[in-house]
């Protein structure tokens, strides 16, 4: 009969140490456990015994060997422990029931004949054992064995796979990443069942020890790129990685640039598409957003849908998006420049009317635009943070205040409001939030430049921005590729989206090992060959009736 | 892949094209008409040919010494100290060219758009813009030109296309020059506008395939110079030769006389000038980069970043020297003509010595 | 890595400091509503007794030499911001009274700039000429010469080359004060009269820029629209005011504009002609739909001789002669064509003779000599003055071919 000890053994053997557990562990990182389970219990209790959620359970293996089992109560699956570990260890397996088990055989039998758990390993390093418990494993130490079993029993509650909230599409897959790394990898593997898909793992964060997965396609991705990613990641020194966004800020090339040099996405299909192009994806446990490197500017105005819908329509929509992008950047500054510096550019009738609309507004156009722009930003920020029910009410207030009342009060001219509205809409039309953010931010210096020097100032500002973009690199790839430094193959998928059969080559700037996406020789369904078959049968049917 | 050699032939062509198209385009029809009347396009074409001679000498030298810039191979050819004189002349000349281009554009802006802004401000803004950009490596320098080049052609060609409806072919006749006095001077003035091509001596050592610089030079000159000819022809066709003599910046006036269809913009001069900032920027970038890069090489410095701000006050001071706009254009013409000796004469001397002494640089395996 | 990022921070701080030094002034920012948007300018000669009204802004009487010229009376039309409603239809627009949308101010001065400075002294907002669309000068001023006016507007970078310069019969100031009903802004009505005239084939493109170009050309003289204010504040295009050098020397009749357009082959065509035929008797009005012309020059015994081939495509628009004339007969059409040919040749020759008498080559025949016969031009002419002398001696040969294409919806 097994003897039950109380599971609450908190008071037991606890000695407070001066050093926090992590430092104690660090100083004892090469310690090994011995054959005595009491020593093991003492060691573990000393380290983490003060936590109420640690469970220590003593029992007897096969009714004769003393053993103990540790786990964190809320990280594991209890049924699993009860049935597959405790029960299995307490009863001898049927085919061994007649035999007596020698002490030296015990380790081998337990591992190979008893434990039903596939994820089981033997470990003697005390620090690693503690680590195993931390990650939701169950550690079983048996008297007389100088190693302990670490059994993977982790079960974490997680939300179900959902529609990606920030990257919705009308046509295309509806799955988005969740927080768990394992689930996310499963989503990628399921779409890309290729032996070439490599997933390297790494732990980053001195305390969080977050699991980071680096995914790439062997034979496609440039090995130098993978090496570069690995070396940049391994240089990160931080206590905790709570989201992939932390990583992004460590591995980007230019920390002072407003432009994002790493793309993030929560769509597995987008990751797969990027892997196939030869990029590297970085996933972090606990973050539903995966990073893609290297990133070039054109990725920010392209969406998954560009490729799922027919090319002619999507090319037009992509153009519209580009227009929106430009709108969101320069429209208010252009307005300021024309109103304050060059009213001769607009038609006379309109100019006179604009002057009429502005008559009575006490501020110069630049101040007016800055005020309205700022209040627009405030409004937008307020709406994002609020729960949906309140947000609706707030936007009504915003519309009323900014749209109507400001004009009626002579605070702003109606054309200013139209301008700002167009700008705001324009910035919403950019699919990538972080790129839109950069342009939103850059709008303000441009407005100021326009207020100083008119059109000349805008141009100076735009040249500065363009020069910055031209000198920017993402993992060594020029940011404006393939426009600069010029690759015609790439231009087929730049401003327009060429028909898929045209896009035979992987992006040149990624310098992939395998440059072609698909082979032309492979038989493709040819419409001309199929046509007669399609047309044939109708007539016969008619006669038959 | 050779990391120091990344510039493609197309980028080299773009460097030349966008360097040529600059502030000089604004008064160009005036220079051409003064020299040749209705034969202004022809004068421009001859100027283009003279400029091409200079360019071909530079490219020839570049191909003979594909790993070195003119500062370096001139030392090999004529010895250290004589070459120092030549190199210092080059540096000085391009510093002056930078300052004059900045001043010229500053004057244009102040005369036509920002009337009460001090000219110092517009000049320093342009110079700063160029100085910040010169802090990059030569690959980025090439990217910049490559990126802006198509954008420069658009406003130029747009103005030409829109002005066609007011053009009269009779203004362009007779297409031959009717008198000879002033033609040489005009041709030289126009040829001087192509001096930015000297940048090829710095670009060739970074080109993937130096031999392709011939092709690059041809296209750069054809497109850039072609735009010159087209703009001169359009200005003469619209205004007539005599009217152009009354206009300080006929190209700008051309923009003023055209409006976009459906009155989207009623007049294009301010917009054109704004877009033209890009053209001036690329030209300034080239001449300033040349100054900085040559200084770096002559003093064998590792980095040119600090130099770009160090030289700025001198260039700015030089830009402020001309007292008024008339004097400035006199200086522009004189400096241009002296510059031809430096940018065509000096390389010609070097190539002759190189041919006589049968010296050439280590070749590069063309890809 | 850390040192370079520190350097970067230092640089960016330096850049910011330099940039902020630029922030010290917005030198040129003038809000659109702070500008006095000048839409139209009229220039008259000041009457003797009015000259005393001059305010001394650019010069003090006696201390600085005043230009020894007749004084001018300048009036401007300034748009009143706020009075012109934004958007279409709002509050019904201006109902004809220019006092509602515009402000007409007049001043005196020795020159144009002097007058404008006097004006600026009286107006708080900065005068802005970027939207100046119409400059009206009185015939009197035009006949005395436009040198000063041209110089001022050419030098001013705000003035557009697409503005209209026109000569008014009588007082120019009245045109500024007139209030036509069709447009909210009277000046725009004046402008659209001419702009629409171009589209209807009633007037050649003759913006101020084109006038300047023509005036500069050695073998051509400038011309301007000649207009007159009518009773109900509408404006009639009276003809072409043609110049010799900078002075106006005469004006044509309205139909003679058609002569100019025909000789130059300018499209679209818009004028009508009354043609009377004898057999069968009747009168029709034809509408010229398309013109083309070819001018050839050759030197005949030391005198330039021009051959002008004009081709007109016409439609019959109205039959005045009654039922007896049925024009569904090709012979009759040929007869009309023949008559119109004869009439046109005479008509064109008359116009040319008229300008020859005034030594004002508004057609630019001299340009043809310069372009096509450069040798002759270089030897015998060379300058504008020489061509003015030579122009009356030139001989002309006008051929007109008329083709009737359509006769309207009626069958005969």
Domains present along chain B, CATH in parentheses: 9-357 (1.20.1740.10)
Same domain, C56 and C70: yes
Q: Under a CB-based contact definition with an 8 Å cutoff, are residues A434 and A339 in contact? A: no
Name every residue whose Cβ is closer than 8 Å to that of residue B141 and which is 6 or more positions away in sequence: B15, B133, B134, B285, B289
Same domain, C208 and C269: no
User: Bridge partners of B116?
Assistant: none
Closest residue to B277, CB basis, from A347, A463, A470: A463
Of C217, C251, C285, the last residue of a domain is: C251
Same domain, C275 and C359: yes
Same domain, C217 and C351: no
CA A526-A531-A533 angle, to 5 degrees, is 115
Is C25 a domain residue? no
Name every residue whose Cβ is closer than 8 Å to that of residue B167 and which is 6 or more positions away in sequence: B234, B237, B238
pLDDT at residue B179 above 80? no
Give the tokens for residue B99: 């300052």
**B132-167: per-residue pLDDT in tens?**
999 888 999 999 999 999 988 988 898 899 888 888
Is B173 part of the contact surface with chain C (CB cutoff 8 Å)? yes
Q: Under a CB-based contact definition with an 8 Å cutoff, are residues C262 and C312 in contact? A: yes
Phi-psi region of B363 (alpha: psi -120 to 50; beta: other; left: phi over 0): beta
What average pLDDT does range C133-160 have in this prediction? Answer: 89
How distant is the Cα of A459 from the closest Cα of chain C, in angstroms?
Answer: 15
Closest residue to B243, CB basis, from C160, C216, C364: C216
Same domain, C64 and C83: yes
**B211-232: per-residue pLDDT in tens?**
899 999 999 999 999 999 999 9
Select the highest-mean-pLDDT range: A167-171, A442-446, B257-261: A442-446
Same domain, C81 and C132: yes
**B62-78: per-residue pLDDT in tens?**
998 888 888 888 888 88
Give the residue extent of every domain in chain A: 21-152, 181-295, 310-478
Quick one: angle between helices A414-428 and A348-358, nearest 10? 100
What average pLDDT does range C364-377 have in this prediction? Answer: 89
User: Bridge partners of A264?
Assistant: A291
Cis peptide before A482 (omega within 30 of 0): yes
Same domain, C229 and C300: no
Same domain, C206 and C144: yes
Cis peptide before B174 (omega within 30 of 0): yes
What is the dihedral sign for C-alpha B288, B291, B293, B296?
negative
Distance in angstroms (rounded) separating the CA atoms of residues B13 and B16: 5
Closest residue to C31, CB basis, from A339, A349, A415: A339
pTM for the model stands at 0.89
Chains touching B, CB cut-off 8 Å, 3+ pairs: A, C
pLDDT at residue C121 above 50? yes
Is C377 a domain residue? yes
Is B138 part of the contact surface with chain A (CB cutoff 8 Å)? no
pLDDT score for A392: 74
- Residue A526 is classified by DSSP as -
pLDDT score for B41: 92
**Domains held by chain C: number:** 2
Q: Which residues of C touch B306 (CB under 8 A)?
A: none
Distance of CA A364 to the CA centre of its chain: 44
Question: Domain of C302: which CATH number?
Answer: 3.30.300.210
166-205 of C, contacting B, C-beta below 8 A:
205
Of C222, C251, C280, the last residue of a domain is: C251
- What ranges make up the beta strands (E) of A245-338? 263-265, 280-284, 290-293
Closest residue to B259, CB basis, from C15, C157, C162: C162
Nearest Cα to Cα of residue B189 among B47, B286, B287, B49: B47
Is C17 a domain residue? no
Nearest Cα to Cα of residue A221 among A543, A515, A491: A515
Counts of helices then strands in chain B (DSSP H, E): 17, 0
Same domain, C206 and C57: yes
Give the tokens for residue B88: 């210092």
C195: three-class secondary structure by DSSP: helix
- Distances in whole angstroms, Cα of residue A373 to Cα of each of A84, A339, A401, A417: 63, 16, 13, 9
How many Å is the Cα radius of gyration of chain A? 32
Q: Which residues of B touch A349 (CB under 8 A)?
A: none
Give the tokens for residue A17: 């140490």
- Residue A281 is classified by DSSP as E
Distance in angstroms (rounded) separating the CA atoms of residues B248 and B238: 16
| Contact state of A355 with C85 under an 8 Å Cβ cutoff | no
- Please give the residue of chain B at the shortest CA–CA distance from C375: B178
Distance of CA C189 to the CA centre of its chain: 14
483-542 of A, contacting B, C-beta below 8 A:
483-486
Distance in angstroms (rounded) separating the CA atoms of residues B244 and B253: 9
Residue C379 pLDDT grade (very low, low, confident, very high; cuts 50, 70, 90): confident
Residue ranges making up the domain that contains C234: 32-251
Q: How many CB pairs under 8 A join B and C?
A: 74
Cis peptide before A491 (omega within 30 of 0): no
CA A453-A456-A459 angle, to 5 degrees, is 120
Cis peptide before A166 (omega within 30 of 0): no
Is C13 a domain residue? no
A6: three-class secondary structure by DSSP: coil
pLDDT score for C22: 55
Same domain, C76 and C189: yes
Same domain, C241 and C262: no
Same domain, C330 and C261: yes
**C182-225: per-residue pLDDT in tens?**
777 778 888 888 888 888 888 888 889 999 999 998 888 899 99
Of C231, C251, C271, the last residue of a domain is: C251
What average pLDDT does range A263-272 have in this prediction? Answer: 93
What is the pairing mode between strands C164-168 and C134-138? parallel
* Alpha-carbon dihedral angle through residues B255, B258, B261, B264, given to the nearest 10 degrees: 60
Distance of CA A421 to the CA centre of its chain: 31
- Distances in whole angstroms, Cα of residue A361 to Cα of each of A366, C27, C124: 12, 21, 17
pLDDT score for A7: 43
Is C195 a domain residue? yes
Distance in angstroms (rounded) separating the CA atoms of residues C382 and A41: 116
Q: Under a CB-based contact definition with an 8 Å cutoff, are residues C168 and C45 in contact? A: no
Chains touching A, CB cut-off 8 Å, 3+ pairs: B, C
Q: What percent of chain B has pLDDT over 70?
A: 98
Q: Which of A206-210, B21-25, C170-174, C182-186 has the lowest mean pLDDT?
A: C182-186
Q: What percent of chain A has pLDDT over 70?
A: 92
Interface test with A, best of B143, B266, B275, B286 (most A CBs within 10 A): B143
Give the tokens for residue C388: 């003015």
């Amino acid at each position: 009969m097994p003897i039950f000890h109380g599971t609450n053994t908190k008071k037991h053997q606890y000695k407070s140490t001066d050093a926090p557990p992590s430092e104690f562990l660090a100083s004892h990182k090469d310690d090994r456990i011995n054959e005595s389970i009491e020593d093991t219990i003492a060691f573990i209790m000393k380290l983490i015994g003060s936590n109420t959620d640690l469970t220590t359970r003593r029992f007897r293996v096969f009714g004769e060997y003393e053993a103990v089992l540790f786990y964190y109560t809320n990280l594991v699956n209890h049924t699993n422990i009860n049935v597959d570990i405790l029960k299995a260890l307490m009863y001898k397996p049927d085919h061994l029931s007649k035999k007596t088990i020698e002490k030296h055989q015990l380790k081998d039998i337990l591992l190979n004949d008893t434990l039903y758990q596939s994820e089981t390993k033997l470990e003697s390093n005390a620090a690693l054992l503690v680590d195993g418990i931390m990650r939701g494993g169950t550690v079983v130490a048996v008297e007389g064995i100088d190693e302990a079993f670490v059994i993977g029993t982790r079960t974490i509650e997680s939300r179900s796979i959902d529609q990606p909230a920030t990257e919705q599409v009308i046509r295309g897959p509806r799955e988005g990443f969740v927080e768990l790394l394992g689930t996310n990898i499963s989503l990628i593997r399921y779409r890309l069942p290729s032996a070439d898909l490599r997933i390297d793992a790494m732990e980053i964060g001195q305390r969080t020890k977050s699991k980071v997965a680096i995914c790439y396609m062997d034979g496609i991705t440039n090995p130098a790129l993978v090496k570069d990613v690995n070396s940049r990641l391994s240089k990160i020194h931080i206590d905790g990685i709570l989201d992939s966004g932390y990583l992004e800020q460590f591995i980007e090339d230019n920390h002072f640039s407003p432009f994002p040099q790493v793309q993030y996405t929560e769509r597995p299909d987008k990751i797969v598409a990027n892997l196939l192009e030869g990029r590297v994806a970085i996933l972090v446990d606990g973050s539903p957003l995966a990073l893609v490197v290297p990133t070039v500017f054109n990725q920010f105005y392209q969406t998954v849908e560009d490729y799922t819908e027919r090319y002619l329509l999507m090319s037009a929509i992509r153009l519209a998006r580009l227009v929106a992008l430009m709108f969101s950047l320069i429209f208010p500054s252009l307005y300021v420049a024309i109103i304050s510096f060059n009213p001769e550019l607009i038609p006379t009738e309109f100019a006179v009317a604009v002057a009429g609309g502005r008559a009575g507004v006490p501020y110069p156009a630049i101040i007016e635009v800055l005020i309205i722009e700022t209040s627009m930003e405030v409004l937008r920020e307020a709406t994002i943070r609020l729960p949906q029910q309140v947000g609706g009410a707030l936007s009504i207030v915003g519309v009323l205040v900014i749209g109507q009342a400001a004009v009626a009060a002579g605070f702003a001219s109606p054309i200013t409001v139209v301008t700002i509205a167009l700008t705001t809409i324009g910035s919403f039309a950019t699919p990538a939030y972080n790129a839109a953010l950069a342009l939103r931010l850059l709008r303000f210096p441009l407005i100021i430049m326009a207020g100083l020097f008119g059109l000349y100032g805008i141009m100076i500002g735009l040249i500065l921005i363009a020069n910055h973009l031209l000198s920017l690199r993402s993992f060594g790839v020029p940011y404006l590729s393939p426009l600069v430094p010029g690759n015609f193959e790439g231009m087929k998928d730049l401003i327009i989206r060429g028909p898929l059969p045209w896009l035979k080559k992987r992006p040149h700037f990624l310098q992939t090992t395998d440059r072609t996406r698909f082979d032309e020789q492979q038989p493709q369904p040819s419409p001309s060959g199929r046509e007669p078959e399609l047309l044939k049968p109708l007539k016969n049917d008619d006669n038959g009736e | 892949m050779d990391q120091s050699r990344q510039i493609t032939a197309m980028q080299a062509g773009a460097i030349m094209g966008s360097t040529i198209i600059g502030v000089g385009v604004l008064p160009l029809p005036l220079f051409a008409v003064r020299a040749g009347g209705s034969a202004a396009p022809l004068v421009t074409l001859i100027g283009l040919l003279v400029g091409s001679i200079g360019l071909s000498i530079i490219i020839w030298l570049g191909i003979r010494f594909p790993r070195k810039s003119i500062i370096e191979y001139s030392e090999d050819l004529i010895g250290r100290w004589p070459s120092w004189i030549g190199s210092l002349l080059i540096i000085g000349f391009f510093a002056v060219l930078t300052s004059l281009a900045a001043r010229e554009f500053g004057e244009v802006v102040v005369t036509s758009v920002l009337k009460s802004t001090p000219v110092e401000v517009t000049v320093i803004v342009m110079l700063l813009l160029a100085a910040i950009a010169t802090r990059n490596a030569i690959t980025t320098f090439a990217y910049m030109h490559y990126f802006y080049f198509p954008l420069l052609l658009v406003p130029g060609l747009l103005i030409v296309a829109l002005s066609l409806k007011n053009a009269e072919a009779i203004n362009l006749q007779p297409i031959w020059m009717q008198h000879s006095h002033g033609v040489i001077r005009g041709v030289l003035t126009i040829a001087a506008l192509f001096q930015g091509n000297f940048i090829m001596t710095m670009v060739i050592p970074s080109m993937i395939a130096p031999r392709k610089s011939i092709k690059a030079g041809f296209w750069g000159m054809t497109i850039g110079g072609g735009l010159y000819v087209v703009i001169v022809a359009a200005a003469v066709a619209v205004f007539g030769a005599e009217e152009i003599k009354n206009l300080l910046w006929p190209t700008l006036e051309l923009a003023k006389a055209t409006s976009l269809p459906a009155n989207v913009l009623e007049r294009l001069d301010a917009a054109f000038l704004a877009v033209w900032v890009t053209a001036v920027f690329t030209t300034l970038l080239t001449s300033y980069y040349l100054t900085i890069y040559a200084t770096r090489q002559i003093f064998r410095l590792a980095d040119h970043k600090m130099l770009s701000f160090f030289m700025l006050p001198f260039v700015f001071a030089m830009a402020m020297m001309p007292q008024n706009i008339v004097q400035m254009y006199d200086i522009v013409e004189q400096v241009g003509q002296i510059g031809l000796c430096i940018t065509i004469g000096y390389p010609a001397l070097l190539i002759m010595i190189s041919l006589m002494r049968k010296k050439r640089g280590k070749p590069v395996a063309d890809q | 890595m850390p040192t370079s990022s520190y350097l970067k921070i230092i640089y960016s701080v330096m850049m910011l400091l330099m940039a902020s030094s630029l922030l010290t002034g917005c030198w040129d920012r003038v809000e659109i509503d702070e500008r006095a948007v000048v839409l139209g300018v009229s220039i008259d000669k000041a009457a003797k007794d009015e000259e005393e009204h001059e305010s001394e802004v650019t010069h003090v009487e006696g201390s600085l030499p005043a230009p020894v010229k007749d004084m001018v009376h300048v009036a401007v039309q300034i748009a009143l911001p706020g009075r012109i409603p934004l958007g279409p239809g709002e509050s019904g627009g201006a109902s004809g009274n220019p006092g509602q949308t515009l402000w007409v101010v007049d001043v005196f001065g020795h020159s144009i700039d002097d007058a404008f400075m006097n004006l600026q002294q009286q107006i708080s907002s900065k005068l802005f000429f970027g939207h100046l669309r119409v400059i009206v000068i009185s015939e009197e001023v035009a006949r005395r010469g436009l040198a000063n006016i041209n110089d001022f507007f050419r030098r001013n970078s705000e003035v557009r080359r697409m503005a209209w310069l026109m000569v008014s019969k009588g007082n120019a100031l009245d045109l500024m004060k007139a209030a036509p009903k069709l447009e909210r802004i009277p000046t725009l009505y004046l402008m659209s009269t001419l702009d629409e005239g171009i589209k209807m084939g009633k007037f050649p493109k003759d913006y101020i820029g084109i006038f300047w170009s023509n005036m500069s050309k050695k073998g051509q003289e400038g011309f301007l629209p000649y207009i007159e204010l009518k009773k109900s504040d509408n404006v009639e295009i009276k003809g072409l005011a043609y110049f010799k050098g900078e002075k106006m020397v005469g004006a044509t009749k309205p139909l003679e504009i058609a002569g100019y357009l025909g000789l130059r082959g300018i499209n679209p065509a818009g004028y009508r002609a009354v043609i009377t035929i004898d057999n069968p008797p009747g009168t029709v009005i034809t509408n010229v739909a398309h013109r083309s012309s070819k001018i050839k020059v050759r030197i005949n015994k030391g005198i330039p001789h021009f051959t002008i081939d004009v081709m007109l495509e016409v439609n019959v628009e109205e039959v005045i002669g009654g039922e007896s004339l049925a024009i569904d007969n090709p012979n009759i059409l040929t007869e009309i064509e023949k008559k119109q040919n004869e009439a046109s040749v005479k008509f064109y020759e008359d116009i040319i003779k008229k300008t020859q008498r005034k030594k004002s080559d508004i057609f630019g025949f001299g340009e043809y000599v310069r372009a096509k016969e450069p040798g002759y031009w270089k030897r015998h002419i060379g300058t504008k003055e020489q061509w003015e002398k030579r122009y009356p001696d030139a001989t002309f040969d006008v051929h007109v071919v008329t083709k009737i294409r359509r006769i309207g919806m009626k069958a005969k």
